[in-house]
Amino acid sequence: MSPAHSLAVHLDTINVEVMIPTQLLDATSISDIAIAKEILRRGGLVAVPTETVYGLAANAMNPSAVKAIFAAKERPSDHPLIVHIAGPDKLVDWAIDIPPLAYQLAARFWPGPLTLLLRKRPQVPTEVTAGLDTIGLRVPANPVLLALLTELGFGVAAPSANPYKRLSPTSAEQVFTQMSGRIDAVLDGGDCEVGLESTILDLTGPKLRILRAGPITASEIAQCTGLPVSQPMQHDIVVPGNVAEHYQPHTPLHLGTREQIMEAIEAKGRRIACLFYAAAPNTSETAKIITMPKEKALFAQCLYKTLYSLDDLGLDAIWLEYPPSSEQWCDVNDRLSRAAATPRTSLQPTSLNAF
Ligand code: TXA
Ligand code: MG
């Protein structure tokens, strides 16, 4: 039995009772890649690099391996998982009634940060999709994971490799710090290139609909398909995991204008970090000042990394200046509004965070 299976899983009151030794594997080592494959083949959990964020992978056709993902993350069992596949030719293994549009989008955006929501094949374990009759599928662009998927011959279910509601990790170190003791291995493939989670596009309804904003924008999808694409500004019940408070650092995060942040600095008395967009004012003696990149791709790439590093400082608050609100920044603004959302009471570190 795999160590991950020795976890006590109670899907309604999720409970992890046993600590397991977590191996840190190097994606440039042939022998370490072989170990990662072996763990996944026997139904274990391996955190893997993707181009967006690190994912917590398990064989998507193995129900007990999939259940172990929920236990390790303390994720509610009604939040469906995305399945990562080796190429568009594998869509038929997971989905039915696949519209030609899916292949058109796959040809343009895969491998890449676009998850397509399709009708699920009945043979796919219900644990993966939390009982829904739809399934999210994507071909990741990270070469290490792509090669792994091709060699394994099966798809892996992989949510972001963080405890429930926390920031998605963009480095192996961040995964290890949070998940060590709960999973079999972390495969270190370096920092994630994109830094934010994939766009989720629903192809099951009468109209194209983005369920989660991501690096691929509505305009890019409209341009590729010649069809209108809707993007609800409110989080939607069809994405159970898309809750208002999510992607949160432990330190309270506030969004503000430059003037509001300057006021917070002048108020003194509290240990704060201030992240300014594009250019920061002169350094302050009372606050830690950081300049965030002007360009969207660079901003996204370092956002979670910056929040993770500030979280280690035990500050009273982090202030972040609003970035632009244009369509290109939709995913950044979506994540920021959730990261800064309240209440945060349910988000105090649990005993598991001590691992
Ligand atoms: O970039 C990404 O998408 C990363 C990497 C690892 O691939 N994965 C990721 O997974 O962000 P996760 O589980 O953290 O977020 C997936 C989101 C959740 O909000 C979930 O509810 C939604 O996708 N989702 C998955 N399958 C779904 C389905 N069948 N119907 C509706 N929403 C679904
Ligand atoms: Mg996540």
Q: Write out pLDDT tens, residues 89-146.
A: 999 999 999 999 999 999 999 999 999 999 999 999 999 999 999 999 999 999 999 9
Residue 342's pLDDT is what?
76
Q: Is the CB of 115 under 6 A from ligand 1?
A: yes
For residue 200, which atom of ligand 1 is closest to its CA?
23
What is the domain partition of the chain in residue ranges?
4-230, 253-339
Q: Is the CB of 49 under 6 A from ligand 1?
A: no
**Mean of the per-residue pLDDT values of the chain:** 89
Q: Is the CB of 170 under 6 A from ligand 1?
A: no
Residue 286's pLDDT is what?
85
Would you say residue 239 has pLDDT above 90?
Answer: no
Residue 231's pLDDT is what?
86
Helix ranges restricted to H, the chain:
30-41, 63-73, 91-94, 100-109, 126-129, 143-152, 172-179, 218-225, 258-267, 296-311, 330-339
Residues with CB in 5 Å of ion ligand 2: 160
CATH says 4-230 is which class? alpha beta
Residue type for 198, please? Answer: S
Tell which CATH classification among 3.40.50.11030, 3.40.50.1970, 1.20.1050.90, 3.40.50.80 matches the domain 253-339: 3.40.50.11030
From the CA of 158, how far away is ligand 1's center (Å)?
Answer: 8
C-alpha span between 202 and 179 (Å, rounded):
30
Q: Which of 82, 138, 145 to mutate to test the pocket of ligand 1 (most atoms within 8 A of CB)?
A: 82
Q: Write out pLDDT tens, residues 253-268.
A: 999 999 999 999 998 8
Q: Write out pLDDT tens, residues 45-86.
A: 999 999 999 999 999 999 999 999 999 999 999 999 999 999
Residue whose Cα lies nearest atom 20 of ligand 1: it is 241
Positive or negative: CA dihedral 59, 65, 70, 72: negative
For residue 135, which atom of ligand 1 is closest to its CA?
29
Residue 269's pLDDT is what?
86
Q: Write out pLDDT tens, residues 154-185.
A: 999 999 999 998 899 999 999 999 999 999 99
Q: Is the CB of 240 under 6 A from ligand 1?
A: yes
Domains 4-230 and 253-339 share a fold: no
Provide the 3-class DSSP secondary structure of residue 85: coil
**Range 212-223 average pLDDT:** 97
